Amino acid sequence: MTGFVILAGCSGKNSQKISSNNGFAVLPAVMPNEAVATFAGGCFWAMQESMLQLKGVNTVVSGYAGGTTSNPTYDEVLTKTTGHAEAVQVYYDPSTITFEQLVTAFFYAHDPTELNRQGPDIGSDYRSIAFFRSSEELKTISKVMHQLELKSIYNGSFVTAMEPFEVFYPAEINHQDYYEKNPWDPYIRSVSKPKVLHVRDNLRSLIKPSYPGN
């Protein structure tokens, strides 16, 4: 994210609770009826809100994945030397929303044809990655990518990497639910909000009833 300004505010839609420890978010325990998915698609402020608005999604944590540095900080990831991308970890109920539907929402929540960037944010830390935890998830990601490329919802070919999941490091607590808490931030209004609305407008049947416009 470039040139952001922190302005307090809260829309009241988000009911998730994320604990903190030494300034960083704490990953929640996975409940018996939950599954976990991890995606990187540019600024995690927009991706977190895009995923959190989906039915069956219980918690979404912003963080870092795909790199080599253990427990990186936001400032370290910004240097492009840790190998990490800004990412989100999604805790969801697979009886309500499928992994395939999550993957579809992921591709609507960012532009998967942009290599090592998303709009004004440039660098490998903004690259597009769909992480998989099984061969079936890999097949699903590949299938959805192919289907959406055929639909030509974006100009150009998808450049999203498909990588086996290894580890996810939660980001600082001030980056959690940033979209909801800072609705008047110029970056949120001009860059993040269009991404969130793109998911909401195109996948309306997957949006929680509590979100406006559904």
- Alpha-carbon gap, residue 129 to 55, rounded angstroms: 22
Q: Indicate whether 81 belongs to any domain.
A: yes
What are the CA-CA distances from residue 28 to residues 34, 58, 72, 129, 187 (Å)?
11, 10, 19, 22, 28
Q: Which pTM value belongs to this model?
A: 0.92
Q: How far apart are the first and last CA of the chain?
A: 28
Instruction: Please state the three-class secondary structure of 51-82 as a single string.
Output: HHCECCEEEEEEEEECCCCCCCCHHHHHCCCC
Q: Which residues are registered as beta bridge partners of 86? A: 64
Q: Indicate whether 136 belongs to any domain.
A: yes
pLDDT-flagged residues of the chain (< 70): 1-15, 212-214
Domain holding 59, by residue range, is 30-185
Q: Indicate whether 143 belongs to any domain.
A: yes
pLDDT digits (tens, 9 = 90+) for 48-85: 999 999 999 999 999 999 999 999 999 999 999 999 99
Q: Indicate whether 213 belongs to any domain.
A: no
Phi-psi region of 156 (alpha: psi -120 to 50; beta: other; left: phi over 0): left
Whether the Cβ atoms of residue 16 and residue 58 lie closer than 8 Å to each other = yes
Annotated active-site residue 43? The verdict is yes
Phi, psi of 168 (to 5 degrees): -125, 130
Q: Indicate whether 203 belongs to any domain.
A: no
CATH assignment of the domain containing 59: 3.30.1060.10
Q: Indicate whether 212 belongs to any domain.
A: no
Q: Indicate whether 130 belongs to any domain.
A: yes
Q: Indicate whether 36 belongs to any domain.
A: yes
- Alpha-carbon gap, residue 21 to 119, rounded angstroms: 32
Model pLDDT, residue 3? 44
How many structural domains compose the chain? 1
Model pLDDT, residue 214? 46
Catalytic residue chosen out of the listed positions 1, 25, 37, 43: 43
Q: State CA 161 to chain mean position distance.
A: 15
Model pLDDT, residue 211? 76
Model pLDDT, residue 15? 67
- Per-residue DSSP letters for 99-145? HHHHHHHHHHSS-TTSTTEETTEESGGG-EEEEESSHHHHHHHHHHH
